[in-house]
């Protein structure tokens, strides 16, 4: 029996629609991400590289003058190189001061949180409260705590018989204070990540270790830490990326002293230097060169990390 | 969840008194700066920097809050709160919706170039937005968006992390047979998303939404560049203004910090458990 032409027509139309739908819809679903990423992620990143080869003023962004690698040469060897190398050193020392204690304390806390506990929910939420505090709010509070005039930190060390410290003025004291802010904000977050990984370790491993006569500490070193290796690597990568871009804390810590990153640039990081060059001194080209240097630094760190991860995997 | 079935690490051991002591000290160290913000915000310019420092709240809290509410950031903290809510809300909505769509496509649909595109998403996970602020600033100037909230919303409307997070969740949680059944019933893609994918993705959407909201609310570098000297600040921009010379009265500055922190703390008290779960899930599976 022949179907009427009208119905047949409708059938092919519908099946064609269906085909378009199943072929086209995946692309429609991923399109928003890729369009937005292309416009506001990839294009700006490449454009930063292009701008870093130009001289551009903040107040006249349409007139860029080609200068080749002059911005990089200036940064590495010219007049501003003093600030660049200083900022690079500060980024490394501040990064180390804030990342290493943060992760070490976090893994210790996670180990304790993994015991049978009363009030476990409260403890977890309390440890995560700093994560809910913004960089700006946290830095303002700690700037007051480390204030040379009537700050709480000086009052506490006075109780132990030490004289007042001008935290903000010294290179190491200011970096210690800033590292304290970073550590305060992120330790609980990392502790909870470690805790989740610890809970995924099979209990039989601990039973076996216990039968072999390993105490709690040996179990921690010989069972927990090896099992956590991928998680540790993950947190190291995340915190290293964060440390490379450290900005809000050194930007706000000086407060009213005027200059961001300290009067003697004693805690100026690469992030602050980029802001300073671009949006304070209005040299957008040089700021872009700082940004791409940071990008190169991140790629190097990523490469080093991949190599270490591979070596660890081989060693196992 | 798998986590609950395995008897992890020290689960069998009870915590000793020393463990409790260390944990309580850690919790106090975590909470003290927040309490201290409240105390400092309730004092006055003189008392806040006196020695010994005040340890219990004073009587000036309301006065300081009112002052900041009316004056901070040019038009007051109220405008800043509204702006932050609008920005973080839009960014959260966009990120959740677009991440579910893309995550679903990557998890369950077959299409040419899927592997390549997913590789691109993963590669962009590690690219920090900070490296693109100079061209973004120029772009916003040319679009005439300086001082407007869309300058803050558009660049962060979807993240690679969100897409990755939703894909990882949907690969496991969404049964392929269910999709095929809906398909053979003649449902088109949008109906499948609406009636099958969204209900299943809901828990992950809540987690991603909260993580995104926190991140967007606390975003700092790009807002202070885009809204530099603006009369249209977010909370963080207003706080930066407070901290760099707008006021020399620490009790007022702390009142600003308190207003800026309270909304998120409230979210944390209400949804703390889900946020904790979300953070740990993202890390362990990622």
Residues of B in contact with A256 (CB under 8 A): 244-245, 248
What is the reported pLDDT for A172? 95
Contact A155 B51 (CB under 8 A): yes
CB A111 within 8 A of CB A224: yes
Angle separating helix axes A171-199 and A120-132, nearest 10 degrees: 140
DSSP per residue, A86-102: HHHHHHHHHHHHHHHHH
At A277 the pLDDT is 93
Choose from B1, B14, B33 for mutation: most chain A CBs within 10 A: B33
CA atoms within 13 A on the CB side of A186: 23
A65 φ/ψ angles, rounded to the nearest 5 degrees: -110, 130
Confidence band for A51, pLDDT divided at 50, 70 and 90: very high
Condensed to tens digits (0 to 9), the pLDDT of residues B48-77 reads 888 888 888 989 999 999 988 988 767 788
Mean per-residue pLDDT over chain A, rounded: 89
Most B CBs within 10 Å, among A107, A111, A137, to test the B interface: A137
Contact in structure between A105 and A188 (CB atoms under 8 Å):
no
In this complex, is the C-beta atom of A293 within 8 Å of any C-beta atom belonging to chain B?
no
Q: Are A274 and A290 in contact (CB under 8 A)?
A: yes
In the structure, what pLDDT confidence band is assigned to residue B283 with cuts at 50, 70 and 90? Answer: low
pLDDT tier, B4 (very low <50, low <70, confident <90, very high otherwise): very low
DSSP-derived 3-state class of residue B14: strand
Residue B31 is nearest to which of A105, A126, A237, comparing CB atoms? A126
Of B155, B147, B151, B202, the C-alpha closest to B174 is: B202
The DSSP bridge partners found for residue A54 are: A66
Model confidence at B3, in pLDDT bands (50, 70, 90)? very low
Backbone angles phi, psi at A225, to 5 degrees: -60, -45
Whether the CB-CB separation of B141 and A61 falls below 8 Å is answered with yes
Nearest residue of A to residue B286 by CA position? Answer: A234
- Mean pLDDT, chain B, rounded, equals 86
Helix ranges restricted to H, A213-283 = 216-219, 225-227, 229-244, 248-252, 270-275
Instruction: Round to whole Å and give the CA distance between B10 and B276.
Output: 20
Among A58, A87, A76, which residue's Cα sits nearest to residue A262? Answer: A87
Do residues A223 and A205 lie in contact, with contact meaning Cβ atoms separated by under 8 Å? yes
DSSP annotation string for B178-241: HHHHHHHTT--HHHHIIIIIHHHHHHHHHHHHHHHHHHHHH--HHHHHHTTT-SS--HHHHHHH
A315 burial type by CB count under 10 A (0-12 exposed, 13-18 middle, 19+ buried): exposed
Inter-chain touch B121–A136, beta carbons under 8 Å: no
CA distance B123 to chain A (A): 11
């Amino acid at each position: 029996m022949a179907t009427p032409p009208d119905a047949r027509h409708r059938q092919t139309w519908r099946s064609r629609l269906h085909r378009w739908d199943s072929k086209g819809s995946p692309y429609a679903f991923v399109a928003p991400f890729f369009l937005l990423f292309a416009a506001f992620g990839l294009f700006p990143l490449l454009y930063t590289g292009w701008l870093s080869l130009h001289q551009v003023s903040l107040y006249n962004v349409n007139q860029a003058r080609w200068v080749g690698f002059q911005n990089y040469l200036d940064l590495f060897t010219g007049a501003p190189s003093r600030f660049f190398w200083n900022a690079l050193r500060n980024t490394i020392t501040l990064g180390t001061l804030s990342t290493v204690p943060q992760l070490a304390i976090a893994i210790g806390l996670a180990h304790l949180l993994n015991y049978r506990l009363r009030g476990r929910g409260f403890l977890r939420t309390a440890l995560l409260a700093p994560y809910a505090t913004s960089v700006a709010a946290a830095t303002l509070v700690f700037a007051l705590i480390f204030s040379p005039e009537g700050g709480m930190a000086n009052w506490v060390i006075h109780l132990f018989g030490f004289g007042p410290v001008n935290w903000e003025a010294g290179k190491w004291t200011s970096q210690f204070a800033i590292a304290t802010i970073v550590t305060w904000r992120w330790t609980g977050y990392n502790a909870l990540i470690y805790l989740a990984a610890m809970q995924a370790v099979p209990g039989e491993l601990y039973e076996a270790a216990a039968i072999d006569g390993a105490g709690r500490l040996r179990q921690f070193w010989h069972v927990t830490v090896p099992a956590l290796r991928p998680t540790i690597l993950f947190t190291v990568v995340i915190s290293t990326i964060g440390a490379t871009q450290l900005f809000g804390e050194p930007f706000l810590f000086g407060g009213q002293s005027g200059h961001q990153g300290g009067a003697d640039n004693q805690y100026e990081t690469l992030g602050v230097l980029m802001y300073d060059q671009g949006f304070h001194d209005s040299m957008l080209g040089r700021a872009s060169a700082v940004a791409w240097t940071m990008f190169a630094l991140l790629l190097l760190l990523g490469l080093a990390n991949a190599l270490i991860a591979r070596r660890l995997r081989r060693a196992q | 969840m798998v986590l609950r079935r395995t008897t992890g690490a020290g689960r069998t051991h009870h915590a000793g008194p020393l463990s409790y002591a260390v944990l309580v000290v850690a919790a106090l160290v975590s909470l003290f700066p927040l309490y201290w913000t409240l105390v400092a915000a309730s004092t006055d310019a003189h008392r806040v920097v006196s020695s010994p420092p005040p340890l219990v709240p004073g009587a000036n809290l309301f006065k300081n809050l009112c002052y900041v509410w009316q004056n901070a950031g040019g038009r007051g903290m109220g405008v800043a709160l509204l702006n932050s809510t609008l920005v973080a809300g839009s960014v959260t909505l966009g990120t959740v919706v677009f991440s579910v769509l893309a995550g679903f496509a990557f998890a369950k649909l077959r299409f040419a170039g899927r592997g390549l595109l997913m590789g691109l998403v993963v590669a962009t996970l590690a690219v920090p937005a900070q490296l693109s602020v100079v061209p973004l600033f120029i772009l916003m100037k040319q679009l005439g968006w300086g001082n407007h909230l869309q300058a803050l919303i558009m660049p962060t409307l979807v993240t690679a992390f969100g897409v990755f997070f939703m894909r990882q969740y949907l690969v496991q949680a969404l049964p392929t047979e269910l999709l095929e059944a809906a398909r053979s019933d003649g449902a088109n893609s949008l109906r499948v998303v609406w009636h099958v994918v969204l209900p299943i993705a809901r828990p992950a959407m809540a987690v991603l939404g909260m993580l995104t909201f926190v991140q967007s609310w606390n975003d700092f570098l790009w807002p202070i560049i885009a809204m530099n000297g603006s009369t249209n600040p977010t909370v963080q921009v207003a706080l930066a203004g407070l901290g760099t010379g707008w006021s020399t009265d620490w009790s007022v500055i702390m009142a600003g910090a308190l207003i800026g922190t309270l909304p998120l703390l409230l979210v944390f008290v209400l949804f703390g458990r889900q946020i904790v779960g979300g953070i740990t899930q993202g890390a362990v599976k990622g």
